């Protein structure tokens, strides 16, 4: 019983960690990308809006990758060795972001703009690299031309989603000119985000026969219908709201962010259904890749301590720094 159940539990933990990471670090990566198009004063406000949170947000990807390593070591070896280059590029992007965030002011006004550009570059590189890795993973880490095309497609899709998350976050945290600019960014980004998600939805079953079989056979197709329907409804809601600024100015910008979270959740549920029971599609199931049952039981104790602590800390930080953003200070 435990041999069957524990690998499923650990896959759920990995899935939860990566989903939370996409949402939380997604918006601050989106803010980083959008910072290129802001004035110096607006960039300061944008940095202030993510300053208390972005380190905590990245904790979730550390948790997800760490659990993958200790619970599914054989899968970790295959995934990381195959995706060595995009993983390295992503880490370089995250390092650039961290350095630029601190140095943009501490290095002096002369170099501030340069570090702002580096912050944008790091944000975009990290976003695109994550999209590339996701595309490669969905295609079973194959090296075919179709897999390459699909990886490029998602490498472009994920930054579009992050930009929408970033714009929605800024509308919740900012006022005045920055709010209006964030709204204009959202209006611009909603089209490419929708188109990209549509293309990914169409392409996914094309590049993977395994996924196509699961989604387009009866009665599965009927049971899975709520996932795309919910995504379409959430997207239509976003599309309508960004064209009604009066509603957003009344404090309802959070609805856009909530709809984006719903899209992320539905996409995660769809992906989880598509790949189960594999941890690497067509190569390794979660049971063949899992560590020994005794090891998983021991690891689970640590997870049951660590996961609630991360959740409590994240909730605490977001509660303390809730509300509209104030001017950035490094004092």
What is the structure's pLDDT at 101? Answer: 83
What is the structure's pLDDT at 82? Answer: 86
Q: Where are the alpha helices (DSSP H) in 139-279?
A: 145-173, 176-207, 209-215, 220-223, 226-241, 245-247, 254-275
What is the structure's pLDDT at 166? Answer: 93
Letter string b/e over residues 76-105, b meaning 16 or more CB atoms within 10 A of that residue's CB? bebbeebbeebbebbeebbebbeebbebbb
What is the structure's pLDDT at 120? Answer: 92
What is the structure's pLDDT at 234? Answer: 94
Which tokens belong to 249? 């100015």
Task: For strands 278-280 and 284-285, give the pairing.
Answer: antiparallel
What is the structure's pLDDT at 331? Answer: 53
| Secondary structure string (H, E, C) spanning 89-129 | HHHHHHHHHHHHHHHHHHCCHHHHHHHHHHHHHHHHHHHHH
Provide the whole-model pTM.
0.89
Domain ranges of the chain: 8-320
Q: What is the largest CA-CA distance in the chain?
A: 63
Nearest residue to 59 via CA among 325, 318, 313: 313
What is the structure's pLDDT at 327? Answer: 64
Contacts of 310 (CB under 8 A, 6+ apart): 59, 60, 63
What is the structure's pLDDT at 240? Answer: 92
What is the structure's pLDDT at 128? Answer: 92
List average pLDDT for each run of 10 residues in the chain, which is 331 residues long.
83 90 90 88 85 80 86 86 88 88 75 86 92 83 78 85 93 87 91 84 76 79 86 93 85 90 90 85 84 87 88 87 69 53
Selected from 1.10.720, 1.20.1630, 1.10.443, 3.30.450, the CATH number assigned to the domain covering 8-320 reads 1.20.1630
């Amino acid at each position: 019983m435990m041999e069957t159940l524990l690998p499923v539990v650990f896959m759920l933990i990995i899935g939860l960690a990566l989903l939370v990471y996409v949402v939380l670090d997604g918006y601050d990566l989106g803010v980083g990308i959008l910072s290129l198009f802001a004035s110096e004063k607006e960039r300061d406000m944008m940095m202030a809006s993510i300053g208390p949170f972005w380190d905590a947000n990245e904790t979730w990807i550390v948790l997800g990758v760490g659990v993958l390593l200790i619970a599914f070591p054989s899968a970790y070896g295959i995934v990381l060795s195959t995706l060595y280059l995009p993983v390295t590029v992503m880490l370089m992007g995250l390092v650039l972001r961290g350095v630029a965030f601190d140095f943009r002011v501490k290095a002096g006004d002369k170099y501030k703009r340069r570090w702002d550009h580096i912050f944008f570059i790091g944000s975009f590189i990290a976003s695109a690299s994550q999209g590339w890795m996701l595309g490669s993973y969905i295609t079973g880490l194959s090296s075919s031309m179709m897999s390459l095309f699909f990886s490029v497609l998602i490498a472009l899709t994920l930054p579009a989603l992050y930009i929408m998350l970033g714009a929605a976050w800024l509308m919740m945290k900012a006022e005045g000119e920055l709010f209006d600019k964030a709204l204009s960014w959202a209006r611009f980004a909603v089209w490419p985000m929708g188109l990209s998600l549509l293309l990914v939805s169409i392409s996914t079953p094309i590049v993977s026969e395994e996924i196509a079989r699961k989604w387009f056979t009866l009665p599965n197709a009927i049971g899975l219908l709520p996932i795309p329907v919910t995504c379409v409804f959430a997207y239509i809601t976003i599309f309508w709201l960004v064209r009604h600024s009066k509603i957003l100015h009344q404090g309802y910008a959070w609805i856009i962010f909530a709809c984006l979270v719903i899209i992320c959740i539905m996409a995660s549920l769809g992906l989880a259904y598509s790949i189960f029971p594999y941890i690497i599609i067509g190569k390794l199931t979660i049971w063949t890749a899992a560590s020994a049952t005794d090891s998983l039981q021991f690891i689970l104790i640590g997870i049951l301590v660590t996961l609630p602590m991360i959740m409590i800390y994240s909730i605490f930080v977001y509660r303390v720094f809730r509300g509209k953003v104030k001017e950035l200070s490094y004092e």
